[in-house]
Amino acid sequence: MTKLFDNIPEGPLADKWTKYKADAKLVNPANRRNIDVIVIGTGLAGGAAAASLGEMGFNVKSFCFQDSPRRAHSIAAQGGINAAKNYQNDGDSTYRLFYDTIKGGDYRSREANVYRLAEVSANIIDQCVAQGVPFAREYGGLLDNRSFGGVQVQRTFYAKGQTGQQLLIGAYQALSRQINKGTVTMYNRHEMMEIVKIDGKARGIIARNLITGEIEKHSAHAVVVASGGYSNVFFLSTNAMGSNCTAAWKSYKNGAHFANSCYVQIHPTCIPVTGDHQSKLTLMSESLRNDGRIWVPKKKEDSQAIAKGEKTALDIAEDDRDYYLERRYPAFGNLVPRDVASRAAKERCDAGFGVNKTGQAVFLDFSDAINRLGKDAVEARYGNLFQMYEKITAENPYEMPMKIYPAIHYTMGGIWVDYNLQTAVPGLFAAGEANFSDHGANRLGASALMQGLADGYFVLPYTISNYLADDIRTGAISTEHAEFEKAEKAVKDRLDFFMNNKGSKSVDYFHKKLGKVMWEKCGMARNKEGLEEAIEEIKAIREEFWKEVKVPGVQNSFNQELEKAGRVADFIELGDLMCRDALSREESCGGHFREEHQTTEGEALRNDEDYTYVAAWEYKGDNETPELHKEDLKFENIELKQRSYK
Amino acid sequence: MNLTLKVWRQNGAEDKGRIVEYKMSDISPDMSFLEMIDVLNEELIEKGDDPIAFDHDCREGICGSCSMYINGEPHGPEDLITTCQLHMRSFKDGDTIYIEPWRAAAFPVIKDLVVDRTAFDAIIQVGGYVSVNTSGNTQDANALPVPKADADAAFDAATCIGCGACVATCKNSSAMLFTSAKISHLALLPQGKVEAQERALNMVEKMDELGFGNCTNTGDCEVQCPKGISLDNIALMNREFLGASLKSEK
Ligand SMILES: Cc1cc2nc3c(=O)[nH]c(=O)nc-3n(C[C@H](O)[C@H](O)[C@H](O)COP(=O)(O)OP(=O)(O)OC[C@H]3O[C@@H](n4cnc5c(N)ncnc54)[C@H](O)[C@@H]3O)c2cc1C
Ligand code: SF4
Ligand code: FES
């Protein structure tokens, strides 16, 4: 069994990163322009990394599949970004943010990485403000904060409900500045199709130009995968339609380990599914739980009457409402972490208290806040979210409580990386949602944006330089190398297969089928029997896919079905790994809830004795069982406790 | 409901393109407009035809991808939304709906409804940023208070999603609203004020060079902008531009 090295620097927790930076090897400025770095993804992680590496003088090639780097999925983040600034003087500190993140992640993340994240968080806000990110401000001109779930301080910075947009535009502008300077070359409408390794090191990629269909070879001294999360394995999720796992999956198949893939976050407040035509789910930001109260009727008859349209929420008297989060978790109330809030909603709906036709919806009610603060104040805080809700549902949330239900939202699992954010393949780095590193089994709200920017602006510039210091004499990597030819051929063969397969079913048919299996058997609640069934069902879907998939159009031109076919092929394989990972983790923790492992009150029951490890899976071949490597998590600064929000 | 769609089909930049008619039945009013096209595309694939190419990603009105004219209006009949936020309840049984790509010299068609909007990126690249390094060696974020009114106005301008509806609706294909939104966003903040004039000069020059037309103040852009970006931004931009031009003449 190969051993995983986390490469965490020695020394006290609070000094590790400072010491790392002081000891890190550097590349002198004259050498940097002879070194090429490929960055896949222009979200917060990739955009920030490409801008920073370009600014340092490396020769950067940046890739995204959208028509512009500004459209990466990070643009859709709504609620905010955390930072331990303690501007509100409510006792926040680097240590508290670190502690909250470890606890929120149900003690399944690496202390050293999380501490570094908390440590650089304050700097992110300084950096973004200097770039002109228009965060919300108070009347005195200083920055405003709000709270998010799972914490008792106000440390979330925001720009109305468009925080992701504003942060991404900041990173995009920094990237644009480097493009103008010539340090970054931008390849939009390009899809990374394969990683190229030479002598065991990542040395380039094969990409498809999505306009012409041309297959291109790009070489580099290091490759960064910042391609986002894999929520779309469920077909329906809050992620953008194009979000996919291909870059991460190709990394896995080339030797990078895939860690904790079963840790998936289900967001409690999304607009419920309405019908089979549904293409995606829309998130209603967690920030709404600051002022919204979640409830269902106490009486089943009332729920049924509402579902039939005979009553509305307004007909239910105060005493007949069950504010079940406030009831079960008096200390945190409506602001419990996401996994807890989602499961509580499922519990009430499964018990028959759901409030729409499908029985899968609960109320999120703002009437108290409107009475207390006035409609204008509520509008100032959440105006765009309320508008978004009304556009989709044709109901006015100022007058009628929102109906919400949990949906797949974020993936904590991802490519295994060490302290350097380097994968098991030398020269291949992973950042942002694509890696597994900081959120354990559950991510706290407003921490993904923080992690993306921390990785991109502040961590990778040091760790990649440290790696590349040994590469200054390597010279340009030739794309004529046999490994490039081999990878290119594999990519072309697969595309040829899709174009020539005389199947009868569309790509979406398979994607929806996979999504259904994943949601039912590897979703909010899992058990052994269901997971074993899912593995068999996914196997059947995979066989049918390769026999029956139908891709219209031609290869050498713009072909969106062909793009989807490759992505869904990878999702099917990932689905299998997720079920295996979920099956092997015989405990409940964070977003991973195994029905066999719960307390008498229905809370998640961890097994610290046997499962305090990162499950990193190694690819062994297409029809082989992947190998499980365990990275033991050592808690030297925090004592493991049963998580309680009561 | 039943609908007749008349969709622009164009197989690549060289193709001349034409309108093709499709009949749709059983469309639910709860579907989004793009979900309605998904349904049509599934039918086309089933029949062995090429599905309609269109850009889309977030499907919640924030990425700016989903560009198309619907019955001659960018993003369709409703105000302040993008195509992905439009629902079929805005149409009636029996309606005929025309769907076409953005039409502007600076946005050439790639396929069907998909156009190339990289010209917008090119405008940002010549100055749509604050020239600060990303090293993190910046002063504390609260060291420089910004009046709330300025911060809010900067935010409003910064909500532009780069969709291109303003260009598409303008009879001159002018990119003034888009460009001015970025110039205002940054000029309204102390961090961006320093370079405001030079920024305006560079971005406006680039805009002209890329083949966008002049602004003749018809104001259609403001009406069609899904984010309600205000024409006031254009006035602010002209101030910065004029200031810069006067200086460079000296
Ligand atoms: C609706 C919503 C709201 C959210 N709100 C919040 C919030 O309020 N606070 C918070 O902290 N987090 C939030 N999150 C989570 C957060 O937005 C994401 O985790 C984060 O933005 C991911 O950033 P990223 O840079 O890792 O990846 P992304 O932003 O997903 O970017 C991925 C990039 O990779 C590129 N890419 C992918 N595959 C390929 C390929 N094969 N070839 C080439 N390019 C490729 C894409 O083009 C894109 O540029 C939210 C998420 C959603 C879905
Ligand atoms: S100004 Fe409005 S219409 Fe123009 S690109 Fe921006 S958001 Fe779109
Ligand atoms: S698809 Fe993103 S704005 Fe419409």
Nearest to A158 by CA among A108, A243, A87: A87
Q: What is the pLDDT of residues A351-366, one digit of tens each?
A: 999 999 989 999 999 9
Are A633 and A613 within 8 A, CB to CB?
yes
What is the whole-number distance in angstroms between the Cα of residue A463 and the centre of ligand 2?
38
Selected residue of B1, B9, B57 to mutate for chain A interface (largest A Cβ count, 10 A)? B57
What's the CA gap between B204 and A455, in Å, rounded?
Answer: 34
Determine, for residues B154 and A127 on separate chains, whether the beta-carbon distance falls below 8 Å: no
| pLDDT confidence of residue A373 | 95
Three-state secondary structure readout of A420-461: CCECCCCCEEECHHHECCCCCCCCCCCCHHHHHHHHHHHHHH
> B75 in contact with A at a CB cutoff of 8 Å?
no
Q: Do A159 and B85 touch (CB under 8 A)?
A: no
At the topology level of CATH, where does A494-610 sit?
A: Methane Monooxygenase Hydroxylase; Chain G, domain 1 (1.20.58)
Contact B130 A130 (CB under 8 A): yes
**CB spacing of B35 vs A277 below 8 angstroms:** yes
CATH superfamily for B117-247 is Alpha-helical ferredoxin (1.10.1060.10)
Q: Distance between CA A521 and CA A514 in Å, rounded?
A: 11
Average of pLDDT values for A130-158? 93
Rounded to an integer, what distance in angstroms lies between the CA atom of residue A369 and that of residue A453?
Answer: 33
A482-512 per-position pLDDT tens digit: 999 999 999 999 999 999 999 999 999 999 9
Residue contact B186–A166, C-beta within 8 A = no
**Contact status of B151 with chain A (Cβ, < 8 Å):** yes
Indicate the top mutation candidate among B227, B231, B232, B234 to test ligand 2's pocket, ranked by most ligand atoms within 8 A of CB: B227
Q: Which pLDDT does position A643 carry in this prediction?
A: 78
In whole angstroms, how far apart are CA A374 and each of A144, A314, A377, B147?
19, 19, 6, 24
State whether the Cα torsion A9-A12-A13-A18 is positive or negative: negative
- Name the band, by pLDDT with cuts 50, 70 and 90, for residue A2: low
* Three-state secondary-structure class, residue A233: helix
Asked, colleague to colleague, whether A267-408 and A494-610 share their fold, the answer is no
Interchain CB contact of A126 with B (< 8 Å)? yes
Record: contact A75-B62, CB cut-off 8 A: yes
Domain boundaries, chain A: 13-24+41-266+410-471, 267-408, 494-610
Nearest CA to ligand 3 atom 3: B61
pLDDT reading at A645 higher than 90: no
pLDDT score, position A161: 85
Cβ distance B138 to A179 less than 8 Å, yes or no, reads no
Q: Is the CB of A251 under 6 A from ligand 1?
A: no
Which residue CA neighbors atom 8 of ligand 2 most closely? B163
Q: For chain A, say whether B28 makes contact (Cβ under 8 Å).
A: yes
Report the residue of chain B nearest A175, measured CA to CA.
B125
A512 touching chain B per CB within 8 A: no
User: Strand, helix or coil at B26?
Assistant: coil
Considering only CB atoms, which chain B residues are within 8 Å of A278?
35
Residue scoring higher pLDDT (A3 or A74): A74
Q: Is B213 in the pocket of ligand 2 (CB under 6 A)?
A: no
**How much distance in Å is there from the Cα of A50 to the middle of ligand 2?**
26
Q: Is the pLDDT of residue A170 over 60?
A: yes
Residue B75 in contact with ligand 2 by CB distance below 6 A: no
- A557 interfaces chain B, CB cutoff of 8 Å: yes
Q: Which B residues 197-216 touch A at CB under 8 Å?
A: none
φ/ψ of residue A510, rounded to 5: -75, -40
Which residues fall within 8 angstroms of residue A99, CB to CB, at 6 or more apart?
A638
From atom 7 of ligand 2, which residue's Cα is the shortest distance away? B160
Quick check: CB of B225 below 6 Å from ligand 2?
yes
**Does A602 contact chain B (CB < 8 Å)?**
no
Q: What is the pLDDT of residues B201-226, one digit of tens each?
A: 999 999 999 999 999 999 999 999 99
Asked if the C-beta of B94 comes within 8 angstroms of chain A's C-beta atoms, the answer is: no
Mean pLDDT, residues A218-243 taken together: 98
**Is the predicted pLDDT of residue A1 greater than 50, yes or no?**
no
The ligand 2 atom nearest the CA atom of B224: 3
Spatial distance between the Cα atoms of A294 and A347, rounded to a whole number of angstroms: 14
B1 and A CB contact within 8 Å: no
Q: Is A457's pLDDT higher than 70?
A: yes
Please tell us whether the domain made up of A267-408 is placed in CATH 3.30.420.340: no
Which candidate from B39, B55, B124 shows the least CB-CB separation from A173? B124
Angstrom CA distances, B104 to A70, B11, B164, stand at 21, 18, 10
Q: Smallest Cα–Cα separation from B54: which of B106, B5, B122, B1?
A: B5
CA of B232 to the centre of ligand 2 (A): 14
Query: Looking at CA atoms only, how far is residue B200 from chain A in angstroms?
Result: 15
Of A164, A240, A557, which is closest to B12 when you measure between CB atoms? A557
Strand ranges in A102-200 using DSSP code E only, listed in sequence order: 156-157, 184-187, 190-198
Q: Is B113 in the pocket of ligand 2 (CB under 6 A)?
A: no
Q: In one letter, which amino acid is A45?
A: A
Nearest to A272 by CA among A238, A295, A234: A238
Please choose, from the candidates A574, A604, A446, A583, the residue with its C-alpha nearest in 3D space to the C-alpha of residue A528.
A583
Give yes or no for B194 touching A (CB within 8 A).
no
Size of interface A-B (CB pairs under 8 A): 212
Beta bridge partner(s), residue A572: none
Q: Which residues of B touch A282 (CB under 8 A)?
A: 59-60
Residue limits of CATH 3.10.20.30 in chain B: 3-100
Please name the residue whose Cα sits nearest to atom 6 of ligand 2.
B160
- Grade residue A65 by pLDDT with cuts at 50, 70 and 90: very high
Nearest CB partner across the interface for A552, out of B45, B114, B134: B45
Cβ within 8 Å, pair B42-A166? no
Q: Which residues of B touch A140 (CB under 8 A)?
A: 145
Nearest to B141 among A126, A177, A277 (CB): A126
3.10.20.30, 3.30.9.10, 3.30.1490.100, 3.90.950.20: CATH of B3-100: 3.10.20.30
Q: For the purposes of burial, counting CB atoms within 10 Å of the CB of A64, is it exposed (0-12), middle (13-18) or buried (19 or more)?
A: buried
Atom of ligand 3 nearest to the CA of B226: 3
- Say if CB A270 and CB A284 are below 8 A apart: yes
Contacts of A73 in chain B (CB under 8 A): 57-58, 63
Query: SS3 for B197?
Result: helix
So what's the pLDDT on residue B249?
58
Residue A243 CB less than 6 A away from ligand 1 = yes
Rounded alpha-carbon distances, angstroms, from residue A213 to A71, A121, A569: 21, 41, 19
According to DSSP, the β-strands at B73-74 and B69-70 are: antiparallel
For residue A524, which of A352, A349, A288, A282 has the smallest C-alpha distance? A349
**Ligand nearest to the backbone CA of A81:** 1
Low-confidence ranges of chain B (pLDDT < 70): 249-250
Ligand 3 neighbour B62 (Cβ under 6 A): yes
Question: Residues 355-374, chain A: which have Cβ within 8 Å of B?
Answer: none
B79 at the A interface (CB within 8 A)? no
Residue A289 to chain B, least CA–CA distance (Å): 20
Average pLDDT over residues A579-586: 98
**Local confidence band at A339 (pLDDT 50, 70, 90 cut-offs):** confident
Q: What is the reported pLDDT for A384?
A: 81
In whole angstroms, give the CA distance from residue A145 to residue A167: 16
Average per-residue pLDDT in chain A?
96
Using the Cβ of B146 and the Cβ atoms of chain A, whether some distance falls under 8 Å is answered with: yes
Let me know if domain A13-24+41-266+410-471 sits in CATH 3.50.50.60.
yes
The interface predicted TM-score of the complex, written ipTM, equals 0.98
Question: Which of the residues A82, A243, A279 would you substitute to probe the B interface, choosing the one with the greatest number of B C-beta atoms within 10 Å?
Answer: A279
